[in-house]
Amino acid sequence: MSATIIDGKAVAADLRSRLAGEVESIAGTGLTPGLAVVLVGEDAASQVYVRNKAKQTREIGMASFEHRLSADTPETDLLALVARLNADDAVDGILVQLPLPDHIDAQKVIAAIDPDKDVDGFHPVNAGRLATGLPGLVPCTPLGCVMLAKSAQADLSGMEAVVVGRSNIVGKPVAQLLLAENCTVTIAHSRSRDLPAICRRADLLVAAVGRPEMVRGDWIRPGAIVIDVGINRVPNPDAGGGKTRLVGDVAFAEARAVAGAITPVPGGVGPMTIACLLQNTLTAARQRRG
Ligand SMILES: Nc1nc(=O)c2c([nH]1)NC[C@@H]1CN(c3ccc(C(=O)N[C@@H](CCC(=O)O)C(=O)O)cc3)C=[N+]21
């Protein structure tokens, strides 16, 4: 038996077209949601994401503002830009691309963003809202993970969910969302005793560790839903010439033979992250402007 492949690209395209419709319907009221993306430095992969975000933002009818700062930008300059974006009425969402250069305190920058414009959902106020069940902005990748899981099985209630990874960006918030979906949630990590055995308990397994192909086929419960958050660039000797390929945190071919449904990399969680960012921008625009 081979797992159903959960098509993140298609689910994301679906969400974007729904968002485009909503953006169009509120355009009549004179409101154009706006997303500001700030990139510090020249990291090649980051540039690609920023370009994709800007393109997709415009495609669904929202305004996109890009701010590219050099890698040696002082922290005070970045904080000043955030303050300007906080005060700018055309800006509904602010995303400061992570990671930031070492001389900048990322927590300080995140804390400086107006929580109601924090479309990444990384501000402590939004983390607190999520943990206590208050309405707020929810991190994009976790939101995408839950949507993809629900595209495989609409009702997650009562499921045994195991999240591997405890980051503030993915592991912790995805666990909160799954708890809100009435899953029984375990957060495991690199120090967990007998990680394979913990994973084998999962009806729903979310892998967000950032280690290429760490989760093996025999870690997976037959029929489980597997959501692979990892995006790891690894050497691809087959292609020769120093080429690379993308792999997830799950050994896909092995896992596919055991799971009931699985997200691929690329084409799984990644595209959903961007679509959810656009959704958050629309949410922020609605909430902020009534
Ligand atoms: N403040 C902040 N928020 C972020 O959400 C954020 C960030 N910083 N820093 C960088 C990471 C990375 N990230 C990705 C989004 C989409 C894909 C994506 O769509 N990936 C494609 C493949 C793209 C490729 O070929 O490289 C896919 O998985 O199919 C990947 C990575 C958002 N991030």
The pLDDT tens digits of the residues spanning 48-63 come to 888 999 999 999 999 9
Q: Is 194 a catalytic residue?
A: no
- Residue 76 corresponds to which tokens in the numbers above? 């005070």
pLDDT at 199: 98
The answer to whether residue 13 is domain-embedded is no
Mutate to test the pocket of ligand 1, among 49, 138, 234, 263 (most ligand atoms within 8 A of CB): 49
pLDDT tens column, 65-91:
999 999 999 999 999 999 999 999 999
- The whole model's pTM is what? 0.97
Question: Does 248 lie in the same domain as 206?
Answer: yes
Q: Specify the pLDDT at position 237.
A: 87
Confidence of residue 290 (pLDDT cuts 50, 70, 90): confident
Q: Are residues 266 and 149 in the same domain?
A: yes
**140 in ligand 1 pocket by Cβ < 6 Å?**
yes
Report which ligand 1 atom has the smallest distance to the Cα of 99: 9
Check if 230 has its Cβ closer than 6 Å to any atom of ligand 1.
no
Structural domain boundaries enclosing 193:
140-270
Residue 12 included in any domain: no
Is the domain of 234 the same as that of 164?
Answer: yes
> Strand 244-247 vs strand 232-235: parallel, antiparallel, or unpaired?
antiparallel
For residue 124, is the peptide bond before it cis, meaning its omega torsion is within 30 degrees of 0? no
**Boundary-marking domain end, from 115, 132, 155:** 115
Active site residue 47: no
Domain with 57 in it: what CATH number?
3.40.50.10860
Average pLDDT, the chain: 96
Cα-flanking dihedrals φ and ψ of residue 246, to 5°?
Answer: -95, 135
Number of domains in the chain: 2
Determine phi and psi for 2, rounding to 5 degrees.
-125, 140
Take residue 215 and report the two structure tokens written for it. 């989760």
Nearest-10 crossing angle of helices 44-59, 269-288: 50
Helix (H, G, I), strand (E, B) or coil at 136: coil
Do residue 252 and residue 145 come from a single domain? yes
Q: Regarding beta strands 184-188 and 204-207, do their DSSP bridges make them parallel or antiparallel, or are they unpaired?
A: unpaired
Active site residue 287: no
Query: Using one digit for the tens of pLDDT, what is the confidence trace for 96-146?
Result: 999 999 999 999 999 999 999 999 999 999 999 999 999 999 999 999 999
pLDDT of res. 257: 98
State the Cα–Cα distance between residues 120 and 234, nearest whole angstrom.
27
Q: Are the beta carbons of 34 and 65 closer than 8 angstroms?
A: yes
CATH number for the domain harbouring residue 175: 3.40.50.720
Q: Is 95 in the pocket of ligand 1 (CB under 6 A)?
A: yes
Residue 234 lies in a domain: yes
> Distance between CA 32 and CA 76 in Å, rounded?
30
Inter-residue contact 224 to 183 (CB < 8 Å): no
Instruction: Tell me: is residue 165 an annotated ligand-binding position.
Output: yes
The residue whose C-alpha atom lies closest to atom 16 belonging to ligand 1 is 270
Summarised one tens digit per residue, pLDDT across range 190-230 is 999 999 999 999 999 999 999 999 999 999 999 999 999 99
- CB of residue 270 inside a 6 A radius of ligand 1: yes
